Amino acid sequence: MAKKASTSAAGQGTYLAEAARAQRRVCTVTYPKGYMQAAPAGDERARLLRETKYKWLNGSQLRFWFYDKPKKWAGTEGDRQVVRQAFKMWKALGIGLEFAEVANAKDADIRIAFLDGDGSWSYIGTDVLTKREDPRTMNFGWSLTEDPAEGLDTALHEIGHTLGFPHEHQNPFAGIVWNEAAVYKSLAAPPNNWSKATTRHNIIDKLQADKVQGSSWDPNSVMHYPFDPGLIVQPKKYAKGLFPKGGLSARDRKWAKTFYPELKPAAVKALQPFKANSLYLGSGQQADFTFKPIETRDYEFRTFGDADALMALFRQAQPRGKPLALEDDGGTNDNAHLKVHLDAGKEYLLRLRLRYAKKPGQAAVMVW
Ligand SMILES: [Zn+2]
């Protein structure tokens, strides 16, 4: 995320003055492998599977942790407070995900460093779980407290990537035509010092339509960079620069609640052995079920029908820890299947995100 120029009453030419400072620092996201490739034309199943590929199961608790050493990776307490506040702001939208700060790296899904000069970045959604040589999943490359509004937007933006949201200025529906030479030149200059490849990856390359929600573009998204005058050729009104309002936009809120709606305990049905439960879900939607075995033995959970699902079983007492078992059959010819040893009298929770169904109501889940 970057420094925003004010377009408010502060005055005509404010953004020009900002531009002249050339101090914009913007995020360097790392998209997962194959993320920018298109689904095969006309393949509705592939398209829908790509929409949910890096989204978390709703109800997941994402545990975050701040490095305290090496020293150069540790931020100030002020920096950490800004990140905590940004997590709270995403949660305050009423989403089904939970965030919790943990005391150990080994308990964390999101490992946050503040290595100055390394740029601000995060991986996309569940791609943070991919093991890499560099154990960080998020970095802030500049102070988040020096300019509080910029700092908070930077934290909201990086967390947005961790929730699975890409750059909004790469939305193919934006119809942005760049002055490419000017864009490369602008980002190659300090403080970003980007290579052409980095600029292409983060700005010029357009996302596939299956990576963005709906078919509109949101220039006020917290996932959108500001752009100085002279970088955008079309739409013409942004030739003098484009500066998002700051904070989470109306559409950011809608996106977050579409993939991670508030959990409704009343909607959770109980599974009975050998009884199929029809899944009246749209692609991408999730249903949760409880199950209380009356005997201790191995149980199998399986989906039926022309469908792809991400399915995970938890102990009800710890619905937000690591699942006992998890399977994603997306893109395979099989159905999702779990085989787990369960204890009589204990209660379990099955979360199932239907990633693709040929028709509503033509998929089901059963335990036996
Ligand atoms: Zn970014």
| pLDDT at res. 30 | 87
Whether 225 is in a domain gets the answer: yes
Q: How confident is the model at residue 234 (pLDDT cuts 50, 70, 90)?
A: very high
Other CB atoms within a 10 A radius of the CB of residue 155 amount to 28
Choosing from 259, 280, 299, the residue where a domain stops is 259
Check whether residue 174 and residue 306 sit in a common domain.
Answer: no
C-beta atoms surrounding 353 within 10 Å: 26
In a domain, 2, yes or no: no
Based on the fold, state whether residues 106 and 231 are members of the same structural domain.
yes
50 and 210 Cβ atoms separated by less than 8 Å? yes
Mapped onto helix, strand or coil, the DSSP state of residue 90 is helix
Compute the average pLDDT of residues 243-269.
93
CA of 158 to the centre of ligand 1 (A): 6
pLDDT (average), residues 327-349: 92
Give a yes or no: residue 4 inside a domain.
no
Does a structural domain hold residue 3?
A: no
pLDDT at 88: 98
Among residues 223, 243, 259, the one where a domain terminates is 259
Phi, psi of 331 (to 5 degrees): 85, -5
Q: Is the pLDDT of residue 8 over 60?
A: no
Q: Going by C-beta distance under 8 Å and a sequence separation of 6 or more, which residues neighbour residue 174?
A: 168, 217, 219
Dump the DSSP string for 264-332: -GGGPEEP-TT--EE----TT-EEEEEE--SS-EEEEEEEEESEEEEEEEEETTSTTS--SEEEE-TTS
Render pLDDT for 272-304 as a digit per residue (tens, 0 to 9). 999 999 998 888 899 999 999 999 999 999 999
> Which of these, 363, 355, 358, 258, lies nearest to 50 by C-alpha position?
355
The confidence score (pLDDT) of residue 17 equals 38
CATH code assigned at 147: 3.40.390.10
Same domain for 241 and 283, yes or no, is no
- Ion ligand 1, residues whose Cβ is below 5 A away: 27, 29
Q: Is the pLDDT of residue 13 over 50?
A: no
Q: Give the integer Cα–Cα distance in Å for 181 and 201.
A: 15
Residue 100 Cα, ligand 1 centroid: separation in angstroms? 22
What's the rounded Cα separation, in Å, for the pair 128 and 112? Answer: 11
Cα-flanking dihedrals φ and ψ of residue 199, to 5°? -65, -40
Are residues 16 and 138 located together in one domain of the fold? yes
Question: For residue 362, what pLDDT is reported?
Answer: 83
Share of the chain above pLDDT 90, in %: 70
CA–CA distances in Å: residue 351 to residues 126, 275, 340, 367: 16, 17, 15, 13
159 CA distance to ligand 1 middle (Å):
9
Q: How many folded domains does the chain comprise?
A: 2
- Based on the domain organization, do 70 and 54 belong to the same domain? yes
| Cα 248 to averaged position of ligand 1 atoms, centre (Å) | 14
Verify that 290 and 214 share a domain, yes or no. Answer: no
State the pLDDT at residue 116. 92
- Are residues 27 and 61 both part of a single domain? yes
pLDDT at residue 135, as a whole number: 96
| Residue 333 is assigned to a structural domain of this protein | yes
Residues 157 and 25 in one domain: yes
Say if residue 23's pLDDT is above 80: no
State the Cα–Cα distance between residues 273 and 293, nearest whole angstrom. 8
103-113 per-position pLDDT tens digit: 999 999 999 99
Q: Given the structure tokens 């010092």, which residue do they identify?
A: 193
Residues 241 and 273 in one domain: no
State the greatest distance between any 2 C-alpha atoms of the chain, in Å, as a whole number: 73
**Residue range 223-239: average pLDDT?**
93
In a domain, residue 69? The reply is: yes
Q: Which of 368, 322, 313, 301 is nearest to 346 (CA)?
A: 313
User: Ligand 1 center to residue 253 CA distance, Å?
Assistant: 17
Give residue 19's pLDDT band: very low, low, confident or very high (50, 70, 90): very low
**The amino acid at 342:** L
Same domain, 227 and 287: no
The 10s digit of each residue's pLDDT in 173-222 is: 988 999 999 999 999 988 888 999 999 999 999 998 888 877 789 999 99
Average predicted confidence (pLDDT) for the chain? 89
Token digits of residue 265: 């305990």
Quick check: 7 pLDDT over 60? no
Phi-psi sector, 230: left (phi>0), alpha (psi -120 to 50), beta: left
Our CA angle for 207, 213, 218, nearest 5°, is 80
pLDDT at 271 over 60: yes
Domain end (from 207, 240, 259) = 259
- Please report whether residue 334 resides in a domain: yes
Does residue 248 share a domain with residue 140?
yes
pLDDT at 9 over 70: no
pLDDT of 350 > 60? The answer is yes
Domain that holds residue 333: 265-367
pLDDT in tens, 132-158: 999 999 999 999 999 999 999 999 999
Please, which pLDDT band fits residue 35 given cuts at 50, 70 and 90? confident
User: How many CA atoms lie less than 13 Å away from 141 in the CB half-sphere?
Assistant: 18
Say what the pLDDT of residue 22 is.
42
Residue linked to tokens 């560099």: 134
**Are residues 76 and 146 located together in one domain of the fold?**
yes
**Spacing, Cα 47 to ligand 1 middle (Å):** 23
User: Measured in angstroms, how far is the CA atom of residue 232 from the centroid of ligand 1?
Assistant: 18
Does any domain span residue 1?
Answer: no
CATH number of the domain enclosing 348: 2.60.120.1050
